[in-house]
Structure 1
Amino acid sequence: MIARFLLLASVASTSFITPGAFAQDAAQPVVDDADQNVRGEVILVTARRRQETAQEVPLAISVVKGDSIEATGNFNIVKLQQLAPTLQVYTTNPRNTSVNIRGLGVPFGLTSDGFEQGVGIYVDDVYNSRVAAATFDFLDVSQVEVLRGPQGTLYGKNTTAGAINITTNQPTFDFEGRAELTVGNLNYKQAKAAVSGPLSDTVAARIAVAATSRRGTLYNVTSQRWINEQDNLGIRGQLLFKPSEDFSITLSGDYSKQDPECCGTTFVRVGTTQRPIARQYDALVAAVNAANPGRNYAVPSRNPYDRLTDLDSNLNAGNKIGGVSAKVKWDIGPGTLTSVTAWRFWDWKPENDRDFTGLSVVSKSQNPSQQDQYSQEFRYNYESKQFDFVVGLFGFKQRIDTQGTEQQGADAARWSLTGANAAIPSTLQGLTASNTQYLKADSAALFGQLSWKVTDALTIQPGARLNYDKKSGYYQRVVTNAQGQAISCTATPAPGTIAGTSAQCGVYQPQVSAPSDSAWNFTYDFNVNYKFARDVLAYATYAKSFKTLGINQNGLPLNVDNTVNYDASTVKPESVNHYEIGLKTQFLDRRATFNLTAFRTDIKNFQATVNGGQFGTVRGYLANAEKVRSQGIEADFKIVASDRFTAYANGAYTDAKYKKFTNAPCPPELSGGTITTNSALWSPAGQAGSSTVPSYSRPQCDISGQGLPGVSKWAFSYGAEVNQPVTLLAKEGQIYLGVDGNYRSHWNSNASPSIYTDVKGYALTNVRAGFRGEGFDIFGWVRNAFDVNYIENLQVAPGNTGLIAGQVGDPQTWGGTIKFSF
C-alpha cells in the first residue's frame, strides 16, 4: 500500500513538470498601498505552506522569533512553553517527553512507541516522529511557529492537536556569520557559531554548531555527584544549489549528541494508599532496616528543595539524533512543486533508578532504543487572485528496536514480598527481565486545502485528508533467575525453562505478544474567514480529525488472576471533532496586535496512558477513555509603542477533562487493598488496611469529570523591553532592559488524577540587561530571578507504596552572553 502511494506521488510529480515562473515559498505576501507606510512590524510565517503575514492566517498561531528564543534562554522545545502558554511540555527524560497543545497531543506519562503524537514537530518541513527525537538544542533557528488545532490537511503527518513548525536560517549568497558565547553559574557554558556564504554563483553553504554544558541541579549523596546535568553538542550543515530563480535544491544534514548523567528524582512526599499499613513506604523502610542491623536507611532529605537524592543505580540519558534531507522546489506553471525527502535516526541509551530510592529494590533498569524513519512528501502550491490551494502526498516508514533489562536487587524481597519469602533476599535478588521488541509503522496520505476568495473580504477554505496507517509490533520478555536459568509461569514449563516460584512470577512473567493492525481514515476541515476591515479578520473553523490506532508495545498488563490481558494489545483510533472561532486585529498603525480565540475539541476513544500500579509487569500502557473534552479561550497582545519600547502578554484558559472514563486504573489513594466488586465494601481514600481490618479497593475507577493530567487551567506569559541610544566605548548602540515571565496554575501529573500528585502553580520571572549595536550584543541575564521553588513533574513510585518522587525545577541561574555577527 505504501509503495502504491509513493508510486502515485512520483507519477504526480512528473506530470507537474512544465515550464513556469512562480515561486511559492520565496514569494512575498501581497501588500496593498495602504500597507506601505505602517509602522508596526510584519511577521511572516509559512503555516499554510506559503509565505504570508501571521495576521492573515485564519488560525490560532504563536510565532517566536529566533532572537527572542536566544534572549530568553529558551534553547529547546522543553523551554519553549515559557513563551507559548497553550503549549505544555513535560519531561522525566528525553524519551518520556510529552508535548501537548490545549491539553491534547500525546498521553501524559511514560511513553510508548505504539501511538502517534498529536502535535507534529517539523524542522524545515521534515517531520520528527517521536518527541524524544526532537529534544535537541535549537540550532541556528530563524523562528518557531506554534499552530493550535488540527493541521492534517496542510502537513505531511496527521496532527490532531497542532504543529510546531521550526524554521532554521538558510544558506545565503552573501557572506555572513555569527558567534555567541555564554557563561553562568552552575558551571554553565554555551557556545554557538554559524557561517554562511557562496561557494559559486549557484551554490551556497551554511554550517552551524552549538555546545552546551551545565552542572547538575540535584546532588546524589550516594555517588557524591551532581546529577541532571546538561551535556549537549549539535551541528547542522546545509548546501543550496540554485541554478535559476525557478529551481533550487537544499541538502541538509544534522547531528546532535546528549550525554548527561540524568535523569534522577528526589523524594517529595508519602501518601497513604489502601495497602496494608505494614506494606506502606515508611513501614517497608523500617522493615529493611530491621533486617539489616546498623543500616538505618533514610532519605537524605524530605524537603525536595534541598535538592538531595540518594539513588543507587547508574543514571544516563544518552541521546543521539540526526539525519539528512533533500528539499527540491520548482516553479511550475502557476504554482510551485516541493519535494521533501528525509531520513532520520534516534539512538537512545538510558539507565534509570526504577525504584526512586537509595535501596536496591530494582538494581538495573534500562531500555535502549534505535529508531530509523524515512519520509517523502510531495506538495504543490498554487496561488491566484481568486483561488489558492495546496495538495500533497506523504509517505512515512519507521522502525524502532528496543532491548530492555530490569533486574531485582538485594532489598527487593523485603520490599515486594510478605511472609517467609520476604526474609530471604535470594528469593528475588538477581531476577532479571530481558525484553526484546520492535515496532514497524507505515503511513501514507493524500491531503489538500483550497482557499476560495469569494470576495475581497470573504474566503472559504475547505480541506480534506485520506490516510492509511499500518502498525505491527513484537514484544518478548524472557525472565531469568540469579543463576541465569529461564523460568516459566505456566502450569507446564516451556521447553528449556524451569518453573518459576510464585514470588518470582508475581514480579516478572515471561510474555510474548505480536500486535498488528491497520486503518483507513478520511478527515476534513472547513474554515470561513471574513475581513471586516484592513486589519480586522474573523474566522470560524470546524475540523473532523483523528489519531490513528495504537498498539501496546511495552508489554501487556495482567488480569486480576495474574494472567496476561491480551485484549489490551491494541487501542482504537481517536475520533476528533474540533470547533474554533477567532478574531485577529491590529490597531495604532499596526503598532498593537490583539488576537482572541475560543475553541472546543471533543474526542471519542481518547488514547490515554494508564498504570495499574504493578511493580514489575509494565510501567504504563495505552487504553481508550470513552470521551474527552478540551475547551477554552486564548488571548494574545503585543505592542510596539515606539522604537524604544515593546511589550507582549499572552493568556489561556483551558478546561480539559475526561467526560467519560469509567474503567480507569485507580489512583494510589484508592488502590492497594483487596480487590472487590462489592461497592459497599470499598474503603475510603487513603485508608490503609491492617491485620484485623483489611481495606477493600475497586477493580477500576470512574474518573469521569476529572481533569486531564498535565493541564493547567490558567497560563500566562508576558514580556517587555525598553532601550535607550547611547555611545559606549566609542561604539554607538543601545542599552536595554528586558523582562519576561510566565505563570501556570496547578495541574495533576498522574494519569488517574491523585490527591498526591497535584503540582502547585508557579510563576517564573527572567530579566536581562545589556548593550547592543551594529554586529554585537553584550548582556547579562538572570533566570528564575526570584529563586522560586517549583516542581516540574511528580511520579508515583511503582508498587503503590505511597512514595511520590519528583523533579524540581531549575533554581535561580545567572550569567552573561556575548554575541557577534558580520
Structure 2
Amino acid sequence: MPSCYPVSSGRSDGHAEPHPLYRKPRTTGMVAMALSLGVSLQAGLASEAKAQQNQGGSASEDLVGTQGRAIALPTMTVTARRIEEDPKDIPFSVTVLDGKEIEQKGNYSLEEVLRSTPGVSVNTSGGANVSSISIRGVGALYPLSMDDASVVVNLDGSPVNPRNLSLGILDLEQVEVLKGPQGTLFGGLGGAGAINLTTRKPTRHVEGYVQGEYGEDHQHRMAAAVGGPLSEQFSGRLAVQQSAYDYPITNRQTGEPLSEPDFLGVRGSLLWDIQPETSALFSVEYDHSRHMGENIVLKPYGDDPEIDLTPGVYDYSKKNMKRYSLEVNHEFENSQITSVTSYSDTYNISPVFFDRMVYQSMMGVPSEYWRDQEVSENVFTQDLRVSSLPGANLFWVAGASALYSERGYDHPRVGGASGIVYPGTSQYRDFTTQRYGVYGEVTVPVIEDLKVTAGVRHTLDLKTYDATYTARGVSVQDSGDLSDNFTTGRLGVSYAVTPEANIYATFSRGYNPGGYQDYAETAGDAEYKAGSIYSGEVGMKSEFLNKRLRLDASAFVTKVQDNYMIDSKGVSSFVLNADTRSVGGELAASWRVADALTLEGGVSYISAVIQDDVNATQGGAVKAGNHVPDVPEWSGKVSAIFNKSLPRIGFLPSPELNARLDYTYVGERPADVQNHYDLDAYHKVDTRIGIAQSGVELYVWGRNLVGDHYDLYGFYDVASATKYGAPAPGRAFGLGFSATF
C-alpha cells in the first residue's frame, strides 16, 4: 500500500526544502510447470542410467565432460549461521542466488531478485522507500514502519533497512534467502526470515570486469569493478554501477514516460592482512537514486498504463545512502573471533500523488492531491562473536550485538494541481531505537549421523517517539516510549540418511517488538503492539548422481500472534492486529543434465490466512479465513542454462555460446486484508543469448517477453469502489557487452 502521508522539509538537518512548483485456486500454470519439471527429471535420470548400463557402467560412476572435467554442480557455501557452511548441513531452508546469475538475468535491484524467488513476496508502489517483504506468508500485512524488520536484510554481516531494496545491486557475490524465524543470530528480529547479501571482496590477484547494456524504454546499465593487491599486506577493490530506465507509465499531459529513474552505486573495499591469523576489511559505499516516486495508477491499466499529473512531479525526488563498515577477524587454533561495525546515513525525499484520474474516481472531481515524504535515518550497529572454525564437526557461535538508530519520517507539505501548497497541514515525527542482544547456537553430534541444534537469543528493545501533527493551522504534540525484553531461538535435529542426503526438523520462535508506525496523522494512533511467531519445519536436502543433481524439499507451518497491519481509508492510517497462520511446502532442484546444460527450478505452495474477525476498520471488515494479502498460493520458477564451446567462427578461434531462459510464475493473490479483489496471476519469461571469446562477450537480452504489466501492489477504496496499483515494466529487448579479466 502506498504511504500517502506527508514528510518534512522544514527540518533543521541541512536538507533544502524543494520548490513548491514541480515543473521541470487458479493453479494451472504452476501445476503444469511442476509436472513438467518432475517428468523431465525422471525421464532424464532414467535415460541416463540406461545409457550407462548399455555402456557397461553404473549410474554411480563419474561422468566426464567434453573438456575432460567431471560434470557436477558448483560447490556452494553459505554464511547463514555467521560462518561458512555447506547448505546441506543447515537445519532450515536456504535459497542461494549466485551474483553472476543475478547479473545475467538483468535484475536492477534486490527487489527484482526477490520477486522471482518462490516463497518470497514483495509489496511496493515503485518508490525508493516503500518496499515490504514477506517470506512464506509471514511479515507485516502492509508496510508499517522503517523499524519493522519481519525480514532482516544483512549486507556483509551488518543489517540494512529493508526499505532500501529499490537501490541498485552492486558487485554481489551471492544472495542467501533464509526462510523461517532467524531471531537467534540476526539482531533479535527476523521473525519471517533473513536475507544475506555478500559482496565480492578484494583478492590477492588482479581481476575485474566491465559490463554495459542498452535496450528499449531507455533501459541501460554500466558496471565495472577491479580488485587486487596494493602491497604485501593490502588488497583493494573498487566497484561502480549506473543504471536507468523509463517508468512503464505514460503521463497523459505530455505523452511521455512519467519519469526516468536512475541509480548510481559506488563501493570501495580495503583488506589488510595484518598477520596470517588476523585481517581487517574496511568498506565505504554510496548509493544514489533520482526521480522515483510512489505510483498510484487507476486500474485496469490496459496495454499503456496512464496517469494524469502536472509534468515534472518527480524532478526533485532522490534517495542517498552512505554506509561504512569494518570487519576484523582473528583465528585461533580451534576458534575465531569476529567484530563487525557499521554506520549508515540515509536520506529520501519524494512526493506521493493522487492524479486527476484516481481523484476523479474517488472524489468525483478531476483534481490532483499530493504530499511530500521526507525521511532520514542514521544507524550504528556492532556485533562481536566467537565461533568454531568452518568445517568443524562441532558447530558453535556465541556473541553480543548492539544497534542505535535515529530517524525522521515527515510529511511537511500538502498541495494540489500546478504545485499549489495547502497551508496549515503537516506531520513531523522523530523516532529512536536502541537494541541490545546476547546470543548463542550450537550443533552437537549426538550419535553417528545424528545432530541436534539449539540456539537462543535474549534482546532488550528501547524506543522513543515524538511528533507534531498540524491540521488547519492547529498543532498537537504526541510522544511515547516503550521497552521490551524478549527471547527467541530454535531447536532442531538432523540425520544423515546417507553421506549425500540429510533430513531435518526444526522448531523456531520469532518475535516482532512493538513500536510506533510511520503513517500516524493524529495523536494516539502511532503505537502498535508486539507479535510472536511460532514455526515448525521438516525437510530433506540431498545430492545425487555424483553431485550432478541437488534436490531440497520442505514443509512448514507458522502461526503469528498479533500480526499487525495498516488499516487505511483515503489518507487516514490506523494499526490493527490479527493472528495469521501459514502452511505450505517447497521443492527446489538443480540438475547438471550434461556438460553444456543445467536445469534449475523451484515451486512453492503457501496457504496463508487471517484467523480473526476484525470489524472496527475503515476499509471494511476483515473476516477470519481471509487470505493474507500479496501472498500467492502457488509460485515458482524454471531456468535452463546452456554453455557450449563452438568451432571457429570467422576471427573467433574458440567461441562459446552462452544462453539462458528463465520462467517465473506468480499466482493470484489478494490485494488487501479485506480480500476485496485479487491481483492477477502472471507469467514472466526472460532470456539472454551471447557469444564469448577469451572473457569478452556480446549478447542480446529480452525481459518480460509475455509483456503483461503485472501488479506490484493493489489497493481498494471501499467508499468509491476505486482500484489502483502500480504496473511492472512490460516487454523489452536490448544488447549487452561484458569483459572479465
Shift of 1:430: 3.1
For the pair 1:140 / 2:171, whether they are aligned, the reply is yes
In structure 1, C-alpha distance between the alignment counterparts of 2:280 and 2:339, rounded to whole Å:
9
Shift of 1:474: 1.1
Matched, 1:191 2:111: no
Q: Which residue of 2 aligns with 1:46?
A: 79
Structure 2 counterpart of 1:236: 267
Counterpart of 2:443 in structure 1 is 451
Q: In the TM superposition, what are the counterparts of 1:657-696 in structure 2 within 5 Å? A: 657-663=609-615, 665=617, 667=619, 670=620
Which of 303, 306, 311 matches 1:305? Answer: 303
Distance 1:752 1:405, change over 3 A: farther
Q: How many residues align?
A: 663
Partner of 1:390 in structure 2? Answer: 397
Moved more, 172-181 or 384-393: 384-393
Q: Give distance in 2, aligned partners of 1:328 and 1:245.
A: 13
Cα distance change on mapping 1:265 and 1:134 into 2, 3 Å = closer
C-alpha distance in 2 between matches for 1:636 and 1:228? 38
Q: Kindly provide the CA deviation profile for residues 460-497 of structure 1, in whole angstroms up to 9, marking residues without a partner as x.
A: 010001001011111111234xxxxx24xxxxxxxxxx
Aligned to 2:497: 532
Counterparts of 1:46 and 1:230 in 2: how far apart (Å)?
A: 33
CA, structure 1 residues 406+603, in 2 after alignment: closer, same or farther (shift >3 Å)? same
Per-residue deviation, 1:38: 7.8
1:721 aligns with 2:728: no
Contact 1:344 1:373 in 2 (8 A): yes
Residue 198 (structure 1) shift: 1.1
Q: Give me the TM-score of the superposition, normalised by structure 1.
A: 0.77
Per the alignment, residue 282 of structure 1 pairs with none
Matched ranges for 1:368-447 at <5 A: 368-383=374-389, 386-407=393-414, 409=416, 430-447=422-439
Structure 1 alignment gaps of length 5 or more: 1-33, 270-302, 413-427, 481-485, 488-509, 558-563, 671-700
What is the aligned partner in structure 2 of residue 621 from structure 1?
A: 574
Displacement, 1:214? 1.6
Residue 465 of structure 2 corresponds to residue 545 of structure 1:
no
Q: Tell me the equivalent position of 2:142.
A: 108
2:182 paired with 1:126: no
Do 1:475 and 1:555's aligned partners in 2 also have CA atoms closer than 8 Å?
no
Cα deviation, residue 82, structure 1: 4.4
Checking the alignment, whether the CA contact within 8 Å between 1:395 and 1:444 is kept in structure 2 is yes
Matches of 1:363 and 1:713, distance apart in 2: 36
Where does residue 735 of structure 1 map in the other structure?
Answer: 657
How many Å apart are 1:157 and its aligned residue? 4.4
How many angstroms apart in 1 are the aligned matches of 2:392 and 2:471?
A: 67
- Name the CA shift for 1:517/1:223 in 2 (closer, same or farther; >3 Å): farther
Structure 2 match to 1:97:
131
Match of 1:59 among 92, 95, 98: 92
- Counterparts in 2 of 1:38 and 1:191: CA distance versus 1, 3 Å: closer
Aligned to 1:697: none
Aligned with 1:304: secondary structure? Answer: coil
SS of 2:103 mapped into structure 1: helix
Shift of 1:638: 1.0
> SS at the partner of 2:593?
strand
Match of 1:698 in 2: none
Q: Percent identity?
A: 22
Q: 1:155: which partner in 2?
A: 186
Rounded to whole Å, the distance in 2 between the matches of 1:517 and 1:363 is 35
- Change beyond 3 A, Cα 1:157–1:76: farther
Q: Say if 1:403 and 1:723 are closer, same or farther in 2 by CA, change over 3 A.
A: closer
What's the CA shift string for 1:48-98, capped at 9, x where partnerless? 211122222221011110111011112322111344111111211122111
What is the CA–CA distance in structure 1 between the aligned matches of 2:740 and 2:200, rounded to whole Å?
14
2:390 corresponds to 1:365 = no
| Larger deviation, residues 34-43 vs 526-535 | 34-43
For residue 553 of structure 2, what is the aligned residue in structure 1? 596
| Higher mean C-alpha displacement, 532-541 vs 227-236 | 227-236
CA distance in 2, matches of 1:515, 1:554: 15
Aligned-pair distance for 1:410?
Answer: 7.6
Instruction: Provide the C-alpha distance between the structure 1 equivalents of 2:513 and 2:506, rounded to a whole number of angstroms.
Output: 22
> How far does the alpha carbon of each residue in 1:267-312 deviate from its partner, in whole angstroms, 9 at most, with x for none?
215xxxxxxxxxxxxxxxxxxxxxxxxxxxxxxxxx5332221123
Q: Distance in 1 between matches of 2:303 and 2:574?
A: 31
Matched, 1:353 2:353: yes
| Contact 1:227–1:262 (8 Å) recurs in 2 | no
74-83 vs 156-165, which deviates more?
74-83
The residue identity in structure 1 corresponding to 2:137 is G
| Alignment of 1:806 onto 2:725 | yes
Query: 1:88 — aligned with what?
Result: 121
SS at match of 2:456: strand
1:679 is matched with none
- Deviation of 1:190 after TM superposition, in Å, equals 0.8
Displacement, 1:748? 1.5
Q: CA deviation at 1:362?
A: 5.2
Structure 2: distance between partners of 1:736 and 1:199: 34
- In the alignment, the residues of structure 1 paired with residue 504 and residue 657 of structure 2 have an alpha-carbon distance, to the nearest angstrom, of 41
Q: CA RMSD in A?
A: 2.4
The one of 772, 784, 789 equivalent to 2:692 is 772
| Other-structure match for 1:329 | 329
Cα 1:608–1:216 change in 2 (3 A) is closer
Structure 1 stretches (4+) deviating beyond 6 angstroms? 34-38
Q: 2:681 aligns with which of 761, 773, 776?
A: 761
Q: Distance in 2 between matches of 1:75 and 1:214?
A: 10
Distance 1:409 1:185 in 2: 33
What's the offset of the Cα at 1:523?
2.0
Kept in 1, the 8 Å contact 2:409–2:518? The answer is no
* Match status 1:477 vs 2:469: yes
Report deviation, 1:540. 0.3
Structure 1 stretch displaced more, 778-787 or 464-473: 778-787
Check conservation: 1:156, 1:393, Cα contact below 8 A.
Answer: no
Aligned amino acid, residue 572 of structure 1 = K
Shift of 1:603: 1.1
Q: Which residue of 2 aligns with 1:168?
A: 199
Alignment of 1:154-303 (within 5 A): 154-268=185-299, 303=301
Do structure 1's residue 745 and structure 2's residue 667 form an aligned pair?
Answer: yes
1:105, CA displacement in angstroms?
2.4
Asked if 1:605 is matched to 2:562, the reply is yes
Q: Name the CA distance, whole Å, in 2 between partners of 1:411 and 1:90.
A: 30
Q: TM-score, normalised to structure 2's length?
A: 0.85
| SS of residue in 1 equivalent to 2:111 | helix
Take 1:739 and 1:814, find their aligned partners in 2: how far apart are those partners? 14
SS where residue 448 of structure 1 aligns?
strand
Aligned counterpart in structure 1 of residue 606 of structure 2, from 627, 641, 654: 654
Q: Is the 8 A contact 2:82 2:157 kept in 1?
A: no
Measure, in 1, the Cα distance between the counterparts of 2:138 and 2:527. 20
**2:247/2:729 contact within 8 Å kept:** no
Shift of 1:515: 2.3
Tell me which residue corresponds to 2:342.
Answer: 342
1:537–1:260 CA distance, 2 compared to 1 (3 A): same
Cα gap change, 1:309 to 1:203, in 2 (>3 Å): same
Structure 1 distance, partners of 2:488, 2:705, is 47
Partners of 2:370 and 2:537 in 1: CA distance: 48
How far 1:556 sits from its partner (Å)?
5.0
- Matches of 1:375 and 1:792 in 2, distance apart? 32
Alpha carbons of structure 1 residues 460 and 780: separation in structure 2 relative to 1, 3 Å: same
Q: Deviations over 1:182-210 (max 9, x none)?
A: 11111222100001011110001100000
Tell me which residue corresponds to 1:680: none
Contact 1:550 1:573 in 2 (8 A): yes
AA matched with 1:637: A
Q: CA distance change for structure 1 residues 124 and 572 in 2, over 3 Å: closer, same or farther?
A: same
